[in-house]
Amino acid sequence: MQSLAQAVGQKGLRIESVRNLDYQHGRNLLIVVPSELYTGELEKVCLMMSEMQGPLTVNVTLTYEKEAVILVEQQVEDVPQCLCLKFTVPQADRVIGIFNVECRTLDFKFNDSKLVWIERLPFQTFVQSDKLLYKPGQTVKFRIVTLDADFQIVNQTVGMLCFWLSALRASLIATCHI
């Protein structure tokens, strides 16, 4: 069986909502969700359960800026010990959201909410010239690439790129806005 860190991913884990739901029957529920969510990215919420009898209904919602978004609505007939559900984080711009998980079976209901940070995935744009030094009259060529946090190429057009060319004596030769 995989660990919770492997199930959700290594970034910003927040282990939340450890509950002993039924002392008499030893039912327990552990919910794990990343503490930071990146808009447009595929994320997971994982539930570790013991002594649960199906069917299990799981509803996951995210509330931010007075808007509630349903991330997951799923029913599972045979309840596994570990259940990870994938969802896509909706578009938002640097906000705190309320992540709500509701679980129901025939004989119990569980509902809990936690705060999460939602932001856009940071991209980095790198610009490199084909040579370090140029002679007068030579054409300057550039390589430009934008990478995401996992160093994967982002297929996105850069809005504006500005650069300056200067001579060895620090005099400005050209300015370009792309």
72-119 pLDDT, tens digit per residue, is 999 988 878 888 999 999 988 889 999 999 988 887 788 888 888 898
* Strand order across the 56-64 sheet: 36-38, 109-119, 95-104, 56-64, 67-76
Q: Which of 71, 51, 55 is CA-nearest to residue 116?
A: 71
**pLDDT of 131 higher than 50:** yes
Which CATH fold topology does 4-119 show?
Immunoglobulin-like (2.60.40)
Residues 6+ apart with CB under 8 A from 51: 22, 25, 26, 27, 28
Degrees to nearest 5, angle at CA 90 with 87 and 95: 120
CATH 2.60.40.1930 range(s) for the chain read 4-119
Its pTM stands at 0.61
